[in-house]
Amino acid sequence: MVDRPLRVLLDGTPLLGTRTGIGRYTAALSEELASMSEVDTRAVAFTLRGWRRLRHVLPHGARARGMPVAARLLRKAWLRSEFPPVELFAGFADVVHGTNFVLPGRVRAAGVLTIHDLAFLDNPAELAPSDRELPLLVRRGARGADVVCTPTAAVADAVAERLDVDRDRIVVTPLGVNPAWFTARPPTDDQRAELGLPEEYLLFAGAAGPRKGLDWLVRAHATTPDLPPLVFAGPGPFPRAERAQHLGYLSDVDLRRVVAGASALVLPSRDEGFGLPVLEAMASDVPVVCTDIPALREVAGDCASLVPYDDVDGLAAALRTAVIDPHAVATSAARRTHAAGFTWRTCAERTVEAYRQAVSR
């Protein structure tokens, strides 16, 4: 190994759209990497138009490159070969990091691929038409990557088993909690009126989708009329239901206010790779109710109420308990302490470890 910074080229395409989980992961990771002297960070966007916007959303110190080819054409090409290699457009790198399931074609650089979850394998019919080839792309990327990163050990185990990846070639890089969540405050009366929020509400925060279990949540909520109304915050479409409202996509500042003002945050997902809203709610001292699945058990620890998926009565009972006794499962100190154990700096440090491991291979 030479004593110069590692030249890292990461896929910054998720930074260009509406940021949900993967966009926020890529943004926070790039911020941390840009502050680390041992890494020289560049980001590339795979889009025919608009890649220049990457320059305006990257942190200071990170440089933008573009691969002005339609993403769907690149994916078709990378299903069959390493051509066109990303270095052809973005310059030489020691490591190419596919942050969003797809490992770009490359010539000499080591390859690191982040696989956030395996929902695309379990329910391929739910993929958007543009993602129909994603299962094949991910399998190819997992085979060709020098190192695979996952957000939880639960996903790492699943990747090892189902994608036939050696476990010692997988590095767990847990996501982090922005420190601003620990000082989040509920909205004032004026802010509540501006957002159209009721005085009390149960909150789902995130992008809608079939695997998020929202129909289950609506059914459980309907069985218990004395529960506060439901609020959905994030890009839809969300299910229609009585005593429910949709706020749409919120700014980071408004999202923190809405989370901090909730009676409880509920994440009823059928499948998750991490579940960042769980930790953000805990940092805001908000009770959490979520599904009893491996990744959420790992992330929530003993600080959330865990309910078997599709147990309507169990979910209703857990929500009722969270509203009546917010500290029935965990104290405020326990919730905040648990959330404080997850930092973006740790995520970046473990990712750099993955880069070094990849280069050494």
187: left (phi over 0), alpha (psi -120 to 50) or beta: beta
352 in Cβ contact with 328 (< 8 Å): no
pLDDT band at 140 (very low <50, low <70, confident <90, very high): very high
Ranges 67-76, 268-277, 311-320: which has the least confidence? 67-76
Radius of gyration of the chain (CA): 21
Average pLDDT over residues 109-122: 95
pLDDT at site 18: 79
Q: In the block, which residue shows the tokens 């609020």?
A: 231
How large is the average pLDDT for residues 180-188?
97
Residue 113 has pLDDT above 60, yes or no: yes
CATH of domain 6-176+343-360: 3.40.50.2000
Is 48 a residue whose pLDDT tops 90? no
User: Is the pLDDT confidence value at 155 over 50?
Assistant: yes
Instruction: Find residue 39's DSSP bridge partners.
Output: 6
The average pLDDT across 70-85 equals: 87
Give the pLDDT score at 130: 79
* 6-176+343-360 and 179-340 have identical folds: yes
pLDDT band at 148 (very low <50, low <70, confident <90, very high): very high
Mean pLDDT of the chain: 94
**Is residue 338 pLDDT above 70, yes or no?**
yes
Among candidate residues 243, 248, 250, the one with its CA nearest the CA of residue 217: 243
Distance from the Cα of residue 168 to its chain's centroid: 23
Name every residue whose Cβ is closer than 8 Å to that of residue 169 and which is 6 or more positions away in sequence: 145, 146, 147, 148
pLDDT at 254: 97
Whether 1 has a pLDDT exceeding 70, the answer reads no
In the chain, beta strands by DSSP E: 6-11, 39-46, 63-67, 95-98, 110-114, 147-150, 170-172, 202-205, 230-233, 244-248, 264-267, 288-291, 305-307
98 contacts: CB under 8 Å, gap ≥ 6: 11, 104, 111, 112, 113, 114, 141, 145
Other C-beta atoms within 10 Å of 339: how many? Answer: 25
Q: Per-residue pLDDT for 28 more than 90?
A: yes
CATH 3.40.50.1010, domain 179-340, yes or no: no
Under 8 Å between Cβ of 32 and 24: no
Q: What is the pLDDT of residues 215-237, one digit of tens each?
A: 999 999 999 999 999 999 999 89
Does residue 102 contact residue 75 with C-beta atoms inside 8 Å? yes
Give me the mean pLDDT over the 166-195 stretch: 97
The 3-state DSSP class for residue 184 equals: coil
User: Which DSSP string corresponds to 264-329?
Assistant: EEEE--S--S--HHHHHHHHTT--EEEE--HHHHHHHTTSSEEE-TT-HHHHHHHHHHHHH-TTSS
Side chain identity at 133, as an amino acid letter? Answer: E
Checking if the pLDDT of 42 tops 80, the result is yes
Length of the chain: 361
**Which tens digit of pLDDT belongs to each residue from 240-255?**
999 999 999 999 999 9
Percentage of residues in the chain with pLDDT exceeding 90? 81
Confidence of residue 186 (pLDDT cuts 50, 70, 90): very high
Distances from the Cα of 90 to the Cαs of 10, 25, 74, 94, 105, in angstroms? 10, 22, 15, 12, 12
Asked if 48 contacts 16 with a C-beta cutoff of 8 angstroms, the reply is no
Model pLDDT, residue 52 = 74
Please say if the pLDDT value at position 266 is more than 70: yes
**CA–CA dist 76, 118 (Å, integer):** 21
Structure letter (DSSP) for residue 211: G
Residue percentage of the chain with pLDDT more than 70:
99
Read off the pTM.
0.94
Whether 2 has a pLDDT exceeding 70, the answer reads no
275 has a pLDDT exceeding 50: yes
Task: Categorize the per-residue pLDDT at 96 as very low, low, confident or very high, splitting at 50, 70 and 90.
Answer: very high
Provide the residue ranges of all domains of the chain, joining segments of one domain with +. 6-176+343-360, 179-340
